[in-house]
Amino acid sequence: MKKTAVLLLVLITAGFMRTFVQADSPDPDPDFYFTRLAYTENGSRGWGRFVPKSFRCPEFGGGNFFPRQGVGWSMDSPGADCKFMGGIHRLTGLHVYPNPNMIKITDPELFKFPYAYIVEPGGMDLTDQEAARLREYLLRGGFIHADDFWGLGEKANFEYQMKKVLPERRMEVLPLSHEVFHTFFDINEIIQVPGERAGCYGGPTWEVPDDREPRIYGISDDAGRLMVVVTYNSDLGDAWEYMDEKCYPEKYSGQSYRLGMNFIIYAMTH
């Protein structure tokens, strides 16, 4: 663990947010917001759902969660959002925004948040407006973590959607020597992180038989800055959400928190 990275993150955040945001954040106190992107799904709207703005996570992410878990772009929320931020707070002492922060891609407020999470992008179907806004976000310094999609069909769809956003770029497998695997924790192996059922009750950790291997991809800009990190054939969101369930193995939840922490550090310092 590189403890100095925490101090670096806190010191850099204030200056970075001033240059990237160009506006006051809705709450000037938190150092980090876990921002979940709402996107168009398979040509229709309304699959994912926003939690009420009045919703507050139990302290440090513990306890039961209402309303019930979302689907589509809101899969695993609010539990994953709450518990991930609770875990990050415990690991680092970083002052995080403890409640869900969900935002549409087309919302101008997006530019206040230099890190954004996209879940289940195998069903993504970006409009032209969303693709243009996401391109602007990434080229202005934004960072996206895409998670929880499985098999060649969903992978092909996500690549197609990213071609709408960054037609001149392509996804490439990230080597374990890449800086993103060593910003806070040293990640020396890629582990397939399964959903709750496979983690708790056994069986295959993969979900689609045409491609069973986990891989982490990236899309970088001309300077080599990672704009998009992709955890393919893995489900970090489930591991965040079920980290306190006795049957869910620590090796999966531990890996998901380590990767997530590294992604945060990278996003906030590049």
**How confident is the model over 161-214, as pLDDT tens digits?**
999 999 999 999 999 999 999 999 999 999 999 999 999 999 999 999 999 999
User: Is residue 7's pLDDT more than 80?
Assistant: no
Task: Report how far residue 75's alpha carbon sits from residue 120's, in angstroms, rounded to the nearest whole number.
Answer: 7
Most confident of 4-8, 57-61, 164-168: 164-168
* Structural class in CATH, domain 4-269: alpha beta
pLDDT band at 268 (very low <50, low <70, confident <90, very high): very high
pLDDT band at 23 (very low <50, low <70, confident <90, very high): very low
Extract the tokens encoding 182. Answer: 């060593």
Q: Provide the angle, in degrees to the nearest 10, between the axes of the packed helices 128-139 and 151-165.
A: 70
Give the per-residue pLDDT at 65. 62
* Full strand arrangement of the beta sheet holding 215-220: 101-104, 35-38, 115-119, 143-147, 226-232, 215-220, 172-173
Q: Kindly give, in sequence order, each residue whose CB lies less than 8 Å from that of residue 34, ignoring residues fewer than 6 positions away.
A: 81, 84, 85, 96, 97, 100, 101, 115, 117
- The rounded mean pLDDT for the chain is 87
Give the per-residue pLDDT at 20. 37
Residue 41 DSSP symbol:
B
Name which of 1-5, 114-118, 204-208 the model is least confident about.
Answer: 1-5
Are 121 and 149 contacting, i.e. CB atoms less than 8 angstroms apart? yes
| pTM (2 d.p.) | 0.88
Pseudo-torsion of CA 156, 231, 205, 248, nearest 10°? Answer: -150
Residue at token pair 């602007």: 136
Extract the tokens encoding 50. Answer: 């926003």
Give the per-residue pLDDT at 63. 63
Give the per-residue pLDDT at 130. 97
Mean per-residue pLDDT for 229-256?
A: 95
User: Is residue 24's pLDDT more than 70?
Assistant: no
pLDDT band at 159 (very low <50, low <70, confident <90, very high): very high
Q: Domain segments of the chain: what residues?
A: 4-269
How far are the Cα atoms of 60, 112, 195, 221 from residue 26, in angstroms, in the given order? 21, 9, 33, 29
